[in-house]
Structure 1
């Protein structure tokens, strides 16, 4: 039962960090886009800045990573988030330019999809404990 509680608590903390990161991402995206910066560029900048915030909170608070190989973990995190950025941007492009959704609705959908994938890959690969 403790395993379930620990994982549920970790998922809730990941969700809280996700809310913070999402707020950072969306505020920067909306600000840059309102300044006339192309929405794809706005997305890349906003995603990158929120990813830095995400690493700090997830490594120290959510997953409490204490592994000996911090360089490997950082590298994995960067790889995951570069892939996440590419996926997020592609989904956003398809939703906005091909399906005709608004930029904000597209951003919400893309964020939701990538967030779920990010949680499981962070847990299982990036911040996994070496036994």
Structure 2
């Protein structure tokens, strides 16, 4: 049982890593190559990564066959947006206590990863 949870956590992390690479690639391409506004490029990269992560986690990590894909997607997006707010708050908290910005961001990524995993396990893909 513990091994299956660890394997699922690993899969969740791998899907998230691929989503992060997709996010960065899209953001970079839009901003640097097409000269799209950086915030628009960032939002586009984040949005595509969330959709990619949803389908990757639905199919591979959680092997969900629930018929209500739209409901799961809405829950996943909600969890992701809460994760984004948590990430921003954690970065703000540590950075305003003179912790290096990138160290603050790394701490936020680790903490929010566990939030996202737990929330999606219990809320998005529980059934």
Shorter chain as normaliser: what TM range? 0.7 to 0.9
User: 2: distance between equivalents of 1:47 and 1:9?
Assistant: 25
TM-score, normalised relative to structure 2: 0.74
- Give the match for residue 79 of structure 1: 78
User: Could you say which residue in structure 2 is the equivalent of 1:99?
Assistant: 97
Structure 2 gap ranges (5+): 32-36
Alignment match, 1:52:
51
| Partner of residue 21, structure 1 | 19
Q: TM-score, normalised by structure 1?
A: 0.72
Number of aligned residues = 122
In the aligned structure 1, how far is the partner of 2:89 from the partner of 2:46? 13
Over aligned residues, Cα RMSD in angstroms? 3.0
Q: 1:112 to 1:22 in 2, by over 3 A?
A: farther
- Deviation per residue, 1:38-78 (Å, 9 max, x gap): 8xx59x63544432332121111101111011111111111
1:79-114 CA distance string (max 9 Å, x none): 111111111111112222x12333321211111110
